[in-house]
């Protein structure tokens, strides 16, 4: 994986991040989702390098091989604001004062927070298979509660860790054939590590609390994303079925927005990397 890219550990203050990076040209930060690692981008990153971009693929704090932060009140150590701060420090440490960011799933929420909190740094935003937390919560109905029950289960204390760690491979189903053998090995190591599982759950606990509050503050202040924004969603996932056109939802958060579906299941970077890389490169160019 990631042939020709550097594989490093970078101290960003509170935590140390594992990051693969390389290429030449405008910088693109690629942020994975739950329960993946930066390895999810291993078929997308080389395509972007070939198209003239520098790519940066970290494991978020608490995920993969990045270190975990001590648990704080309100789970704020795993807030999207804290994770975005890590990634801003990472990009600056690698010499990128300005950069585009693309985030998938939970990574889309981190990418949004980066664009809102650090507009001078983020030149373009791509949100993949995600909408703001408050937009989900304002649309909760019986189907959402049934299909996305994990949002509310993961927010409970202790029991989710016990359930997942009793049989991580059954809880997080994936295959080496689907992901690629090296990415799958990283994934399995992460979901079998109790500290990593706890940190990934803390992501959801922060989501329903402090992250929600941050978004509510943004909306009350009229704060929006200033840069051009691309929204992509998987055609064989349920985001559009649940909530309707994601572009329409994002328009309240990012006035300069466009988007479309990608033919894929939820993990589009692994299932259709060619179309995803093509869409990202076209937008970023």
Check if 218 is active-site.
Answer: no
Bridge partners (DSSP) listed for residue 59 = none
Q: How far apart are CA 121 and CA 175, in angstroms?
A: 37
Q: Where are the alpha helices (DSSP H) in the chain?
A: 45-50, 80-93, 106-117, 133-137, 142-147, 150-154, 159-166, 168-171, 176-179, 181-191, 194-206, 212-221, 239-243, 246-250, 268-271, 273-284
Bridge partners (DSSP) listed for residue 209 = none
Alpha carbon 35 to its chain centroid, in Å, reads 10
Q: How far apart are CA 57 and CA 100, in angstroms?
A: 12
Tell me the pLDDT tens digit for each residue of 173-184. 899 988 999 999
Give the pLDDT score at 73.
86
Q: How far apart are CA 245 and CA 248, in angstroms?
A: 6
Check if 192 is active-site.
Answer: no
Q: Is the per-residue pLDDT at 91 higher than 90?
A: yes
Which one from 118, 192, 243, 266 is the annotated catalytic residue? Answer: 266
Tell me the pLDDT tens digit for each residue of 101-157. 999 999 999 999 999 999 999 999 999 999 999 999 999 999 999 999 999 999 999
pTM: 0.97
Give the pLDDT score at 192.
98
Q: How far apart are CA 228 and CA 226, in angstroms?
A: 7
Band of residue 256 on the pLDDT scale cut at 50, 70, 90: very high
Which one from 59, 86, 105, 211 is the annotated catalytic residue? Answer: 105
> What's the CATH fold of domain 6-284?
Rossmann fold (3.40.50)
Average pLDDT over residues 17-37: 98
Q: Is the per-residue pLDDT at 162 higher than 90?
A: yes
Domain ranges of the chain: 6-284
């Amino acid at each position: 994986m990631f042939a020709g890219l550097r594989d490093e550990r970078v101290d960003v203050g509170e935590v140390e991040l594992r990051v693969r990076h390389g290429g030449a040209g405008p910088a693109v930060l690629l942020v994975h989702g739950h329960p993946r690692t930066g390895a999810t981008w291993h078929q997308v990153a080389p395509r972007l390098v070939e198209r003239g971009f520098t790519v940066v693929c970290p494991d978020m704090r608490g995920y993969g091989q990045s270190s975990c932060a001590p648990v704080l009140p309100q789970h704020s150590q795993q807030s999207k604001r804290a994770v975005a701060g890590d990634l801003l420090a990472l990009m600056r440490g690698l010499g990128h004062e300005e950069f585009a960011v693309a985030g998938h799933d939970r990574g889309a929420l981190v990418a949004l927070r980066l664009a809102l909190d650090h507009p001078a740094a983020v030149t373009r935003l791509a949100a993949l298979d995600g909408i703001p937390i408050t937009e989900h919560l304002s649309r909760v109905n019986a189907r959402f509660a049934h299909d996305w029950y994990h949002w509310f289960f993961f927010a409970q204390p202790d029991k989710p860790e016990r359930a997942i760690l009793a049989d991580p491979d059954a809880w997080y189903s994936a295959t080496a054939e689907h992901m690629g053998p090296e990415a799958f090995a990283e994934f399995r190591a992460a979901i079998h590590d109790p500290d990593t599982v706890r940190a990934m759950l803390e992501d959801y606990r922060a989501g329903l609390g402090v992250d929600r509050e941050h978004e509510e503050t943004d909306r009350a202040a009229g704060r929006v994303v200033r840069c051009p924004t691309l929204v992509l969603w998987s055609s064989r996932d349920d985001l559009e079925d649940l909530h309707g056109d994601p572009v329409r939802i994002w328009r309240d958060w990012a006035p300069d927005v466009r988007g479309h579906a990608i033919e894929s299941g939820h993990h589009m970077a692994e299932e259709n990397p060619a179309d995803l890389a093509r869409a990202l490169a076209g937008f970023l160019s």
